[in-house]
């Protein structure tokens, strides 16, 4: 495949995230938006806005003259694997929204399918392209030996979030562990390496749906780092990735910190990027500790950077930033967290 080849991309699913991916494709010169795929009547308005054809099924899209080179799977969690497999088997490269699947077993099936058909499979953990995550990874060496990390993903999802056609969000295969915390799991493993043990206590249920509403979680990393995390989608709170970074325009931006990374030489809070340290002097609780804040470089929208990367991977110019295996590792941690909530016991994860 010529390195300069423009990649035609289909968007499968036009719910909350699909249109944002469609806009990103339109803003990447190396990509072309081939079509959107969705049987929902509301999809026509999305296709009209994006100025592209609409197909009511993957089968009709694959049989058309608009058959693309690649596709983004932006459908409900439990449909990711069957839809992505159908696309891979038809010869398309796939960028699958997170989570790669709702369980480890089906994630492995999807990875094997991509290998069998020699197609690229990337997982949409787009926050690896977020400027605050990039800046955090850059600053970690300044903290010395990382000892612990503390995090929050806490906000309030309104009642309509669970209404038709997205009532699937009420199910036990949804919930904030797989929908939201999986982003943080991926970021934490991207920054600090594999998580090998978890323990989680489920929060009180206010809605009464099968989906959990949150948990208090402890994490142990393979390199000895420990972590604590509070997760809830049913509290009034300003502390979460979206509110802190302004990444999602639908969520009010507060700028409040959501991670604190504690090291032997300093502590970094994110996203304000404030480094607390003794400035090279004597380390003691009796000494003055200093705060130094770093600017975060402006960058393109993470979704656009992710599409640009997807195109470059297809053209053989870059290795995948988040492969199917890495997507599987995030699901494995989330699966362990759900098991821990059920069994009220710590859960060990197998080392990769």
Per-residue pLDDT, averaged over 148-152, amounts to: 98
The pTM of this model reads 0.91
Q: Would residue 136 count as lying in a domain?
A: yes
Domain CATH for 75: 3.40.50.720
Q: With 80 as the cut, is the pLDDT of residue 209 above it?
A: yes
Say which range, 200-209, 245-254, 267-276, has the weakest mean pLDDT.
Answer: 245-254
What's the pLDDT at 250? Answer: 87
How high is the pLDDT of residue 309? 97
Confidence tier at 174 by pLDDT (50, 70, 90) = confident
Q: How far apart are the first and last CA of the chain?
A: 32
Q: Which two tokens stand for residue 152?
A: 């929050």
The answer to whether residue 87 is domain-embedded is: yes
Asked if 114 and 168 sit in the same domain, the reply is no
Cα 309 from Cα 318, distance rounded (Å): 7
**pLDDT value at residue 1:** 43
* Residue 204 shares a structural domain with residue 144: yes
- What burial class does residue 229 get, using C-beta atoms within 10 Å of its C-beta: 0-12 exposed, 13-18 middle, 19+ buried? buried
Tell me what the pLDDT averaged over the chain comes to. Answer: 94
Asked, for residue 2, whether it belongs to a domain, the answer is: no
Band of the pLDDT at 164, cuts 50, 70, 90? confident
Looking at the fold, whether 290 and 146 belong to one and the same domain comes out as: yes
Give CA–CA dist 16/335, Å, rounded. 24
Task: Give the pLDDT mean for 250-266.
Answer: 95
Q: Are residues 171 and 281 in the same domain?
A: yes
Q: Is residue 1 part of a domain?
A: no
Confidence of residue 65 (pLDDT cuts 50, 70, 90): confident
pLDDT the model gives residue 4: 61
- pLDDT at 132 exceeding the cut of 50: yes
User: Dihedral through CA 175, CA 179, CA 183, CA 189, nearest 10?
Assistant: 60
Looking at the domain assignment, is residue 344 inside a domain?
Answer: yes
**Residue 63 clears pLDDT 50, i.e. is over it:** yes
Domain co-membership, 142 together with 254:
yes
- Do 147 and 257 share a structural domain? yes
Q: What residues make up the domain containing 35?
A: 7-127+302-323
Q: What is the DSSP string of 243-292?
A: HHH--STTS-------EEEEESS-EEEETTTEEEE-TTS---TTSPPEEE
pLDDT band at 84 (very low <50, low <70, confident <90, very high): very high
Q: Are residues 145 and 284 in the same domain?
A: yes
Integer Cα distance of 172 and 212 in angstroms: 7
Work out the pLDDT band at 248, boundaries 50, 70, 90.
Answer: confident
> Considering the domain boundaries, does residue 37 fall inside one?
yes
Judgement on whether residues 81 and 40 belong to the same structural domain of the protein: yes
Q: Is the pLDDT of residue 66 over 80?
A: no
Domain membership of residue 340 (yes or no) is yes
CB-based contacts of 258: which residues, under 8 Å, 6+ apart?
151, 152, 153, 239, 240, 241, 243, 244, 270, 271
Specify the CATH number for the domain of residue 146.
3.30.360.10
Confidence of residue 43 (pLDDT cuts 50, 70, 90): very high
Tell me which of 280 and 286 has the higher pLDDT. Answer: 286
pLDDT (0 to 100) of residue 2: 47
pLDDT band at 246 (very low <50, low <70, confident <90, very high): very high
Confidence band for 166, pLDDT divided at 50, 70 and 90:
confident
The answer to whether the beta carbons of residues 143 and 270 sit under 8 Å apart is: no
Determine whether 129 is exposed, middle or buried from the number of CB atoms within 10 Å of its CB (0-12, 13-18, 19+).
buried
In angstroms, the CA 80 to CA 286 distance is 54
Asked if residue 185 and residue 71 are part of one domain, the reply reads: no
Pairing of strands 7-12, 70-73: parallel
pLDDT score at 352? 56
Q: Is the pLDDT of residue 3 over 60?
A: no
User: How far from 127 is each of 17, 30, 173, 300, CA to CA, in Å?
Assistant: 14, 21, 22, 12
Q: Determine the Cα–Cα distance for residues 172 and 211; give it in Å rounded to an integer.
A: 4
Residues 105 and 193 in one domain: no
Whether 94 is covered by a domain: the verdict is yes
Band of the pLDDT at 350, cuts 50, 70, 90?
confident
> Are residues 97 and 136 located together in one domain of the fold?
no
pLDDT digits (tens, 9 = 90+) for 303-328: 999 999 999 999 999 999 999 999 99
Q: How many domains does the chain have?
A: 2
Query: Cα-atom radius of gyration of the chain, to the nearest Å?
Result: 21
User: Are residues 151 and 280 both part of a single domain?
Assistant: yes
């Amino acid at each position: 495949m010529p390195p300069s080849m423009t990649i035609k991309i289909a968007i499968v699913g036009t719910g909350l995230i699909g249109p944002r991916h469609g806009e990103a494709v339109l803003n990447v010169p190396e990509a072309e938006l081939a079509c959107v795929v969705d049987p929902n009547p509301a999809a026509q308005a999305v296709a009209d806005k994006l100025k592209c054809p609409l197909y009511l099924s993957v089968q009709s899209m694959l049989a058309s003259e608009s058959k693309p080179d690649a596709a983004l799977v932006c459908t409900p969690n439990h449909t990711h694997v069957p839809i992505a497999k159908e696309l891979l088997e038809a010869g398309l490269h796939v960028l699958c929204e997170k989570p790669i699947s709702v369980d480890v077993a089906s994630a492995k099936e999807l990875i094997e399918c991509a290998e069998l058909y020699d197609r690229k499979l990337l997982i949409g953990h787009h926050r690896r392209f977020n400027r605050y995550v990039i800046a955090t990874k850059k600053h970690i060496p300044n903290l010395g030996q990382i000892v612990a990390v503390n995090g929050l993903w806490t906000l309030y999802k309104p009642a309509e979030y669970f209404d038709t056609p997205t009532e699937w969000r009420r199910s036990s295969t949804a919930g904030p562990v797989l929908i939201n915390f999986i982003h943080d799991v991926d970021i934490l493993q991207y920054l600090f390496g594999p998580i090998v043990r978890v323990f989680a206590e489920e929060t009180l249920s206010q809605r009464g749906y099968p989906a959990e509403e949150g948990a208090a979680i402890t994490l142990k990393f393979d390199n000895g780092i420990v972590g604590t995390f509070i997760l809830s989608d049913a509290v009034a709170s300003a502390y979460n990735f979206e509110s802190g970074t302004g990444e999602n325009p639908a969520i009010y931006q507060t700028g409040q910190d959501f991670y604190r990374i504690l090291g032997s030489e300093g502590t970094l809070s994110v996203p304000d990027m404030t480094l607390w340290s003794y400035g090279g002097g004597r380390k003691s609780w009796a000494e003055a500790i200093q705060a130094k804040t770093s600017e975060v470089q402006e960058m393109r929208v993470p979704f656009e950077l992710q599409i640009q990367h997807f195109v470059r991977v297809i053209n053989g110019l870059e290795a995948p930033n988040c492969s199917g295996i890495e997507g599987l590792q995030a699901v494995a941690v989330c699966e362990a967290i759900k098991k821990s909530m059920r069994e009220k016991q710590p859960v060990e994860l197998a080392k990769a």
